[in-house]
């Protein structure tokens, strides 16, 4: 489950960066219009701009290759054209399968105590 959440967080980070990129685009246009000379603030702007370009490329990649995550691996949870409901169901199934709930562990320990006592 941890891996899935990490992947999901990374995905949302990309989405957020896309929004940031649009914001920076308008800032860049504004900056370029005001002055063409490279000074400190423009340099910072260019740096941020290139960062945004890289992140948006990753975002485009995830749109073109929806079955792959950023590292190019098969993202099983996000693959096979799953609907949001299906993704949620699988994510829940991950939880059900790989994490024992406190209640389940309590049931097990109670059973184990009974067994070892008998």
Partner 1 sequence: MDLSWSEADHQARGELQSFECAFPPKVSRYRVRPHRHPRPWQATVQSYVRSLRTPYIDPDHVLIGRDEGKIAAVVAYCTVLDAVEPPGHFVKAIARANAYRGTGVADSAMAELLRRLRGDNNGFEVQSGVYGKVHSLNSSGRAYMRRHGFEAIDRDEDYEIWAREL
Neighbour count for residue 118 (Cβ, 10 Å): 5
- For 104, the token pair is 């389940």
CB of 54 to partner 1, least distance (A): 23
Cα–Cα–Cα angle for 16, 17, 18, nearest 5°?
90
- For 79, the token pair is 């693959």
Query: Is the Cβ of residue 23 or residue 105 nearer to partner 1 in the bound state?
Result: 105
Residue 9 interacting with partner 1 (CB under 8 A): no
Which residues in this chain contact partner 1 in the complex, by CB under 8 A?
3-4, 7, 67, 73-74, 76-77, 79-83, 85-86, 90, 93-94, 96-98, 100, 104-109, 111-113, 115-116
């Amino acid at each position: 489950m941890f891996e899935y959440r990490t992947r999901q967080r990374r995905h949302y980070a990309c989405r957020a960066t896309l929004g940031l990129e649009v914001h920076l685009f308008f800032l860049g246009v504004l900056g370029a219009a005001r002055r063409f000379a490279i000074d400190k603030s423009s340099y910072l702007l260019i740096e941020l701009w290139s960062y945004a370009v890289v992140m948006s490329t990753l975002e485009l990649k995830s749109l073109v290759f929806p079955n792959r995550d950023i590292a190019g691996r098969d993202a099983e949870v996000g693959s096979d054209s799953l609907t949001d409901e299906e993704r949620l169901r699988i994510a829940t199934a991950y939880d059900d399968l790989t994490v024992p709930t406190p209640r389940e562990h309590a049931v097990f320990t109670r059973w184990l105590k009974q067994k070892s006592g008998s």
